[in-house]
Chains A and B, each alone.
Chain A
Amino acid sequence: MIPRPLTALAAATLLFAGCEEERPVDRATREGILLLGNGDEPKALDPHLISSVGDSNIMRALFEGLVTYHPSEDATHAPGVAERWEHNEDYTEWTFHLRDDARWSNGDPVTAGDFVYAYNRILHPDLGSPYASMLHLLENGEEFNKGEIDDFSQVGAKAPDAHTLVCTLREPAPYFPDLVKHTTWLPVHKPTIEKFGNMTDQFTLWQRPGNHVGNGPFMLESWRINGGVKVIPNPHYWDRETVTLNGIVFYPLANNFTEERAFRDGLIHKTYIIPPDLIGYHKAESPEYIKLDPYAGVYFYRCNVTKAPLDNKSLRKALAFAIDRETIVKYVSQAGEQPAYGVVPPTEGGYQPHHGVEFDLDKAKAYLKEAGYESGADVPEFEILINTSESHKAIAAAVQDMWKKHLGIEKVTIANQEWKVFQTTLRELRYQCSRSGWIGDYLDPSTFLTMWRTGDDNNQTGWGNPDFDRLLTEAANQIDPGERFAKFREAEAVLLDELPMIPIYWYTQKYLLDPAVGGWHPLLLDNHPYKHVRLDPSKIPSE
Chain B
Amino acid sequence: MDTISDIEKGSSLGRDAWVRLKKNKMAMFGLWFFVGITLVCFLLPLLPVLPDPNATSPELRSLGPFSEAVANDGTERFYLLGSDNLGRDIFARIVDGGRVSLMVGFIATAVSLLIGVVYGAVAGYVGGRLDSVMMRVVDILYALPFMIIVIILTTFFDNSLWLLFLAIGAVEWLTMSRIVRAQVLSLKEQEFVDAARSLGLSNGQIIFRHIIPNTLGPVIVYTTLTVPAVMRLEAILSFLGLGVQPPNASWGSLVKEGADRMISDPALLIFPSAIFALTLFAFNFLGDGLRDALDVRASKD
Q: Are A and B interaction partners? A: yes
Q: Does B20 contact A (CB under 8 A)?
A: no
Q: Which residues of B contact A417 (CB under 8 A)?
A: 241
Q: Which residues of A contact B86 (CB under 8 A)?
A: 331-332, 394, 397-398, 401
Q: Which residues of B contact A414 (CB under 8 A)?
A: 245-247
CA distance A255 to B59 in the complex (A): 25
Total interface residues on A, using CB and 8 Å? 30
Q: Does A153 contact B (CB under 8 A)?
A: no
CA distance A394 to B84 in the complex (A): 11
**Which residue from chain B places its CB closest to the CB of A406 in the assembled complex?**
B73
**Given A331-B61, A397-B56, A414-B247, is A277 in contact with B85 using a C-beta cutoff of 8 Å?**
yes
Q: Does A91 contact B (CB under 8 A)?
A: no
Task: Judge whether A327 and B58 touch: CB under 8 Å.
Answer: yes
Interface residues of A in 342-400 (CB under 8 A from B): 388, 390, 393-394, 396-398, 400
Query: Contact check: which of A275, A332, A401 meets B260 at CB < 8 Å?
Result: A275
Q: Does A257 contact B (CB under 8 A)?
A: yes
CB of A326, distance to nearest CB on chain B (Å): 10
**Which residue from chain B places its CB closest to the CB of A417 in the assembled complex?**
B241
CA distance A330 to B72 in the complex (A): 13
Task: Judge whether B265 and A401 touch: CB under 8 Å.
Answer: no
Which of B241, B261, B265 has most A Cβ within 10 Å?
Answer: B241
**Given A281-B263, A397-B246, is A388 in contact with B58 using a C-beta cutoff of 8 Å?**
no
Contact with B along A430-443 (1 / 0, CB 8 A): 00000000000000
Task: Judge whether A416 and B265 touch: CB under 8 Å.
Answer: no
Total interface residues on B, using CB and 8 Å? 24
Q: Which residues of A contact B245 (CB under 8 A)?
A: 413-416
Query: Contact check: which of B59, B241, B261 meets A277 at CB < 8 Å?
Result: B261
Q: Which residues of A contact B59 (CB under 8 A)?
A: 327, 330-331
Q: Does A19 contact B (CB under 8 A)?
A: no
Interface residues of B in 53-85 (CB under 8 A from A): 54-56, 58-59, 61, 72-73, 85
CA distance A398 to B247 in the complex (A): 9
Task: Judge whether A401 and B241 touch: CB under 8 Å.
Answer: no
CA distance A255 to B245 in the complex (A): 17
**Which residue from chain A places its CB closest to the CB of B147 in the assembled complex?**
A1
Q: Does A467 contact B (CB under 8 A)?
A: no
CA distance A330 to B264 in the complex (A): 17
CB of A206, distance to nearest CB on chain B (Å): 30
**Given A331-B61, A396-B246, is A401 in contact with B55 using a C-beta cutoff of 8 Å?**
yes
CB of A41, distance to nearest CB on chain B (Å): 15
Task: Judge whether B58 and A332 touch: CB under 8 Å.
Answer: yes
Query: Contact check: which of A275, A388, A398, A405 meets B241 at CB < 8 Å?
Result: A388
CA distance A417 to B147 in the complex (A): 15
Q: Does A418 contact B (CB under 8 A)?
A: yes
Interface residues of A in 1-36 (CB under 8 A from B): 1
Which of A257, A280, A418 has most B Cβ within 10 Å?
Answer: A257
Q: Does B159 contact A (CB under 8 A)?
A: yes
CA distance A401 to B88 in the complex (A): 11
Query: Contact check: which of B72, B87, B147, B241 meets A416 at CB < 8 Å?
Result: B241
CA distance A396 to B263 in the complex (A): 23
Q: Which residues of A contact B147 (CB under 8 A)?
A: 1
CB of A424, distance to nearest CB on chain B (Å): 13
CB of A393, distance to nearest CB on chain B (Å): 5
Query: Contact check: which of A332, A388, A397 meets B247 at CB < 8 Å?
Result: A397
Q: Which residues of B contact A255 (CB under 8 A)?
A: 260
Contact with B along A306-348 (1 / 0, CB 8 A): 0000000000000000000001101110000000000000000
CA distance A327 to B71 in the complex (A): 12
Task: Judge whether B72 and A401 touch: CB under 8 Å.
Answer: no
**Given A327-B72, A397-B86, is A277 in contact with B55 using a C-beta cutoff of 8 Å?**
no
Q: Does B257 contact A (CB under 8 A)?
A: yes
**Which residue from chain B places its CB closest to the CB of A255 in the assembled complex?**
B260
Task: Judge whether B264 and A390 touch: CB under 8 Å.
Answer: no
**Which residue from chain B places its CB closest to the CB of A414 in the assembled complex?**
B246
Q: Does A75 contact B (CB under 8 A)?
A: no
Q: Which residues of B contact A332 (CB under 8 A)?
A: 58, 85-86
CA distance A404 to B264 in the complex (A): 29
Q: Does A278 contact B (CB under 8 A)?
A: yes
Interface residues of A in 243-302 (CB under 8 A from B): 255, 257, 275, 277-278, 280-281
**Which residue from chain A places its CB closest to the CB of B73 in the assembled complex?**
A405
CA distance A315 to B92 in the complex (A): 31
CA distance A277 to B86 in the complex (A): 10
Q: Which residues of B contact A415 (CB under 8 A)?
A: 159, 241, 245
**Which residue from chain B places its CB closest to the CB of A401 in the assembled complex?**
B56
CA distance A378 to B265 in the complex (A): 38
Interface residues of B in 138-168 (CB under 8 A from A): 147, 159
Interface residues of B in 195-253 (CB under 8 A from A): 241, 245-247
Given contacts A413-B245, A417-B241, 13 further A-B contacts (CB under 8 A): A255-B260, A257-B259, A275-B261, A277-B261, A281-B264, A331-B59, A390-B257, A397-B54, A398-B58, A401-B56, A401-B247, A405-B73, A415-B245
B→A interface (CB under 8 Å): 54-56, 58-59, 61, 72-73, 85-87, 147, 159, 241, 245-247, 257, 259-261, 263-265
A-B contact pairs, 9 of them (CB 8 A): A275-B261, A277-B265, A281-B264, A331-B59, A396-B247, A398-B56, A414-B246, A416-B241, A416-B246
